[in-house]
Amino acid sequence: MITVTAAGLSAGRGSETVVPPQDFTVSSGEALVVTGKNGIGKSTLLRTIAGLLPAMGGAISVDGALTPEGEPAEHVSEIAHYLGHRHAMKASVTVRGNLAFWQSFLGGVRHTAEEALEAVDLSHVLDLPFGYLSAGQQRRAAMARLLVVERPLWILDEPTSALDVHAQARFAVLMTAHRAKGGLIIAATHHALGLEDARSLHLERDATPAFHGFTEEDLAAEEGWS
């Protein structure tokens, strides 16, 4: 059982604290959905969880996970995929070449680029430069990054932006399968992601943070998901 724990974790930019102290845990098979208005600090918090920004206070820790080298993981960054607003793929390099880079950079258990692109319904673009893809195709190719290397924690910042309804549903299936294998998901979103039984962390300005605020079901009702 892997558990990621935030204890009084606050996040910010430069010297300014944007997100006040947060406490939450996410364990194997669970998902945490971070919601809140534009500019409230969802991306800032996710980048801090991923280790891309220093915490302004408190700590984020991981228990029960192994690094790709088989050592006990001490940092979230050792066990996580981070999918941010930017795709982290080079425009002039083929999709296959980009995925090969991430396989060698991250290491660990790998799967073929062909299998990963099939899973996101994008097999036909494998040998095209990433920059030739449409916005939605680029997003799906970036999602294939989650599949070419196994990492237990997926940190996802608005993962379904630019995706059509079919691709959103397909990604929901991939997230469900990841959780069923014991994976963990922390996602920021303005839209329902199709995550069942997800817990919610709703960020608010100048207020006590409301863990278990909106649920995925509330978002689904707004969006017409069924």
The residues binding ligand ATP (CB under 6 A) are 13, 18, 36, 38-44
Q: How far is the CB of 21 from ligand ATP (least distance, A)?
A: 16
CB of 38 to ligand ATP, least distance (A): 3
Taking the C-alpha atoms of residue 127 and residue 130, their distance in angstroms, rounded to an integer, is 9
Q: Least CB distance from residue 43 to ligand ATP, whole Å?
A: 3
Question: Which of 192, 196, 177, 191 is closest to 120 using CA atoms?
Answer: 177
Q: How far is the CB of 82 from ligand ATP (least distance, A)?
A: 14
In the complex, least distance from residue 91 CB atom to ligand ATP, rounded to whole angstroms:
21
Q: Which is nearer to ligand ATP, 78 or 158 (CB)?
A: 158
Per-residue burial over 10-44, b = 16 or more CB atoms within 10 Å of its CB, e = otherwise:
bbbeeeeebbbbbebebebbbbbbbbbeeebbbbb
Q: Which residues pair with 11 in a beta bridge?
A: 19
- CA separation for the pair 203, 201 (Å, rounded): 6
Q: Which residues pair with 4 in a beta bridge?
A: 26, 62
Comparison of 44 and 98: residue with beta carbon closer to ligand ATP: 44
Q: Cβ of residue 40: shortest distance to ligand ATP, in angstroms?
A: 4
Would you say 20 and 207 are in contact if contact means Cβ atoms under 8 Å apart? no
Considering the complex, state which of residue 76 and residue 148 has its C-beta at the smaller distance from ligand ATP: 76
Nearer to ligand ATP, 45 or 95 (CB): 45
**Helix axes 95-106 and 135-148, enclosed angle (nearest 10):** 30
Q: Could you tell me the CA-to-CA distances from 18 to 12, 32, 48, 54, 188 in Å, in that order? A: 4, 20, 11, 13, 15
